[in-house]
Structure 1
Amino acid sequence: MNMAEHGAHLTGVFTDEDRPSIFEVVAQDNLMTAVRPALQHAVKVLAESNPARYGFLWHWFDEIYAALDLLLQHRYLSLTSGSFSENFYGLKRVNAWNKKDLMRLASKGLPSKLYWKSLFMLVMVPYLKTKLDRIFTQMREEDDYYIHLPESHWKRFCKAFLAAYPFVNMAWEGWFLTYQLLYIFKKTYHHSPLLLLAGVRLVNLRGEDIRAFDKMPSFVYPQQGRSVAEKLKSFFSKAVGGIALSLSNTLSISVFFLQFLEWWYSSENQDIIKSLTSHPAPPPPVHYEQNETMALPKLKTVCPLCHRTRTNDAALATSGYVFCYRCAFNYVKRHQRCPITGYPTELQHIVKLYCPEG
């Protein structure tokens, strides 16, 4: 048996034509990675324009994004056997351990077991990773700037977490990089370990898949004689499908706009951006609508929160107002906003001020 026959025996029905290039699989990964910060920036602009109405969007952004992502990926996994970004680049998921599954039409969706594994890896794993990163950032800031209580079991656990997490994160990123390198040299069918854990691999859509998509009906008309439970289930499925369809269409149009944003914020355009944004200082920020009872002190040396002479001055980078550091830290940690303007604020936005003595 020569080398070509041996390779054909190993790959079975999988061929190089079915195997996506490294550029395609990395591009579809980066698509959703670019969508999240773009939506987050839009939500931040809304929250700063009207904190009373849109502030909750910023506070619960991770959960809202995960819910919308769940609806979007559910629709695409069910109808195209792939995620939104995978379908956008003409890819689908097939059973990694059953080579005959390559002939399964993408319009039939993934089998139930592979569907749930894929949905978990696409939505829940990134959500949990984002929450862990945020917890690590907050704990590190508290460890650097907060006045700590005496040593306790919880404090020792926090120290261990802060010491270990950077290495865990490095191992996590190295795990993904290793699979991408193995994929480049055709040592594995998976460019991501999450695909391996889900039990699937990515292949290119075939002509039969595309023709099946064209034949899919836009609506399924209800049948007579169905029970109330079946009608409610059908109504709920259509509602979820409609929301997911709206999201997918919006994202498809937004992809081109995201490419423009990447160009706009690239390093070679920074001089242009600076020249366009070099305007006079803006007026003071607007007072928070739901907090009009908090009047600013007449003396500039008094803290607006404790109404005493400020100690250990600290300013909020989001609004510019100055408080006692302890007052600002405790308020921002509890409410995630500026107490005067209501602008979304995190602990890293607190800037300590050091005045020259004398």
Structure 2
Amino acid sequence: MAEHGAHLTAGLAANSASGRLSIFEVVAQDTLMLAVRPAAHHLCKVLVESNPARYGFLWRWFDEIYSLLDFLLQRHYLSRTSASFSENFYSLKRIPIGNGIRRWASQGLPRAQHWRSLLMIIAVPYVKVKLDRLFARLREEDDYAIHLPESSRKRLCKAFLAAYPFLNMGWEGWFLIHRLLYIFGKTHYHSPLLQVAGVRLANLTPADLRSFEQKSSSVSRSPTTTSVVGKLTAAFGKALGGAAVTLSTSVSVGIFFLQFLEWWYSSENQDTIKSLCSLPTPPPPVHLDSLMNDDLPRLSTVCSLCNKLRTNDTALATSGYVFCYRCAYTYVKRHQRCPVTGYPAELQHLVKLYLPEA
């Protein structure tokens, strides 16, 4: 086992030395953006539930708004670091295939690879999400809707429902095959989207890091632009860069928080949550012993306040005792507590009891 582990370690070291990334690195950066979208969707849901009139449009147009913001973020990183947001987070960069000119990461990608990368990063996930939701909606309608005589639209929807699971399986299998080929060293692309974009992933080199520092220092030493358009462009660039840095810093904390929530609500942790939340019923007040013997009526149909047969029976939700409505209303309004147990109570805790006629 030790020798086998040594061979694995040596293989990983050789891959690192040759500039080839491990499967764990590339899968980790893929998973990062997959975790950001559900977090943004949950935040949107919280905002909409707090004020539907103001934030309702966020829920209706969430996919479009998220794709637009993602487009601005990814375009900024691709033009500045030759990598997407998640790839830059893991210190990776995209290298153009078939380009003999050596480029630093700070120079960005060539125009063709830049726009093809944006298309693969933004458009493909957007279309995939829309198709998944369309399939879920049509399947729900097909299961619960009233089946009318078939039309051309109905036949088209049935064909889509029948074919989409196989298309989705083929899509996922395409990605799985690329990852297996990448693990065994048969291809440079762990994802077919990278191959379509004409790029591959690699680690940032010390020369790339120095180029980033030189670029930032040259920007800080550049003379101040006097034109209004130049000032607005510079301010927008600084704001976008600051937002990108803030997002990059907060994502590391956010991912930990999301993993904690996932663990907290996992099925394995439900028993622990139930044991913490299912607290025992508190014991009755100590002074009830004397009340039971002296002040409380012997008959269950007698009100303990007026010592007469109850009329218009009303229970107090905080304690469960039953009184006449008039007696309970007057006492609770004056003392704000239960007359038997002394538990705090309000008028809204009075519950009318509808008993069957004797």
TM-score, normalised by the number of residues in structure 1:
0.66
Query: Structure 1 CA distance, aligned partners of 2:208 and 2:265?
Result: 38
Q: 2:151 maps to what in 1?
A: 152
* 3-state SS, counterpart of residue 216 of structure 1: helix
Q: 2:89 maps to what in 1?
A: 88
Q: 2:165 maps to what in 1?
A: 166
Q: Within 5 Å, which residues of 2 pair with 1:67-86?
A: 67-86=68-87
Q: Given that residues 72 and 247 in structure 1 are in contact (C-alpha distance below 8 angstroms), is that contact kept between their aligned partners in structure 2?
A: no
Q: 1:113 maps to what in 2?
A: 112
Query: Structure 1 CA distance, aligned partners of 2:122 and 2:278?
Result: 40
Amino acid at match of 2:32: L
Q: 1:334 maps to what in 2?
A: none
Q: 2:180 maps to what in 1?
A: 181
Q: 2:67 maps to what in 1?
A: 66
Evaluate the alpha carbon distance shift between residue 252 and residue 134 of structure 1 in structure 2; reply closer, same or farther with a 3 A threshold: same
Amino acid at match of 2:71: L
Query: Structure 2 CA distance, aligned partners of 1:250 and 1:209?
Result: 24
Query: Structure 2 CA distance, aligned partners of 1:278 and 1:62?
Result: 39
CA drift of 1:81 comes to: 0.6
Q: Within 5 Å, which residues of 2 pair with 1:216-295?
A: 216-217=215-216, 233-276=233-276
Query: Structure 1 CA distance, aligned partners of 2:124 and 2:165?
Result: 18
| Unaligned segments of structure 1, at least 5 residues | 1-13, 280-358
| Unaligned segments of structure 2, at least 5 residues | 1-14, 280-358
CA drift of 1:27 comes to: 0.7
Q: Tell me if 1:32 matches 2:41.
A: no
CA drift of 1:170 comes to: 0.4
* 3-state SS, counterpart of residue 82 of structure 1: coil
Q: Within 5 Å, which residues of 2 pair with 1:38-53?
A: 38-53=39-54
Q: Tell me if 1:135 matches 2:140.
A: no
CA drift of 1:47 comes to: 2.0
**Segment drifting more, 244-253 vs 160-169:** 244-253
Query: Structure 1 CA distance, aligned partners of 2:276 and 2:129?
Result: 34
Q: Within 5 Å, which residues of 2 pair with 1:304-319?
A: none
Q: 1:54 maps to what in 2?
A: 55
Q: 2:314 maps to what in 1?
A: none
Query: Structure 1 CA distance, aligned partners of 2:215 and 2:78?
Result: 15
Q: 2:311 maps to what in 1?
A: none
Q: Given that residues 80 and 107 in structure 2 are in contact (C-alpha distance below 8 angstroms), is that contact kept between their aligned partners in structure 1?
A: yes
CA drift of 1:25 comes to: 0.3
Q: 2:18 maps to what in 1?
A: 17
Alignment length (residue pairs)? 265
Q: 2:98 maps to what in 1?
A: 97
Q: Given that residues 78 and 109 in structure 1 are in contact (C-alpha distance below 8 angstroms), is that contact kept between their aligned partners in structure 2?
A: yes
In our comparison, the structure showing a higher alpha carbon Rg is 2
Amino acid at match of 1:30: T
Q: Given that residues 89 and 248 in structure 2 are in contact (C-alpha distance below 8 angstroms), is that contact kept between their aligned partners in structure 1?
A: no
Superposed CA offset, 1:160-179 (max 9, x none): 11110010000000000000
Evaluate the alpha carbon distance shift between residue 229 and residue 126 of structure 1 in structure 2; reply closer, same or farther with a 3 A threshold: same
Q: Given that residues 71 and 243 in structure 1 are in contact (C-alpha distance below 8 angstroms), is that contact kept between their aligned partners in structure 2?
A: no
Query: Structure 1 CA distance, aligned partners of 2:65 and 2:246?
Result: 16
Q: Given that residues 72 and 248 in structure 1 are in contact (C-alpha distance below 8 angstroms), is that contact kept between their aligned partners in structure 2?
A: no
Amino acid at match of 1:156: R
* 3-state SS, counterpart of residue 217 of structure 1: helix
CA drift of 1:243 comes to: 4.1
Q: Given that residues 72 and 245 in structure 1 are in contact (C-alpha distance below 8 angstroms), is that contact kept between their aligned partners in structure 2?
A: no
Q: 2:346 maps to what in 1?
A: none
* 3-state SS, counterpart of residue 216 of structure 2: coil
Q: Given that residues 43 and 57 in structure 1 are in contact (C-alpha distance below 8 angstroms), is that contact kept between their aligned partners in structure 2?
A: yes
Higher RCO (C-alpha 8 Å, min separation 6): 1
Q: Given that residues 43 and 58 in structure 1 are in contact (C-alpha distance below 8 angstroms), is that contact kept between their aligned partners in structure 2?
A: yes
Evaluate the alpha carbon distance shift between residue 193 and residue 42 of structure 1 in structure 2; reply closer, same or farther with a 3 A threshold: same
Q: 2:189 maps to what in 1?
A: 190
Q: 1:341 maps to what in 2?
A: none
Superposed CA offset, 1:288-317 (max 9, x none): xxxxxxxxxxxxxxxxxxxxxxxxxxxxxx
**Segment drifting more, 258-267 vs 202-211:** 258-267
Superposed CA offset, 1:84-109 (max 9, x none): 111111211001233x45x4211111
CA drift of 1:122 comes to: 0.7
Query: Structure 2 CA distance, aligned partners of 1:262 and 1:61?
Result: 23
Superposed CA offset, 1:18-75 (max 9, x none): 1110000001101111111122122222222332233322222212211221121111
Q: What is the CA RMSD across the aligned residues, in angstroms?
A: 2.7
Q: Given that residues 81 and 108 in structure 1 are in contact (C-alpha distance below 8 angstroms), is that contact kept between their aligned partners in structure 2?
A: yes
CA drift of 1:143 comes to: 1.1
Query: Structure 1 CA distance, aligned partners of 2:57 and 2:89?
Result: 31
Evaluate the alpha carbon distance shift between residue 276 and residue 75 of structure 1 in structure 2; reply closer, same or farther with a 3 A threshold: farther
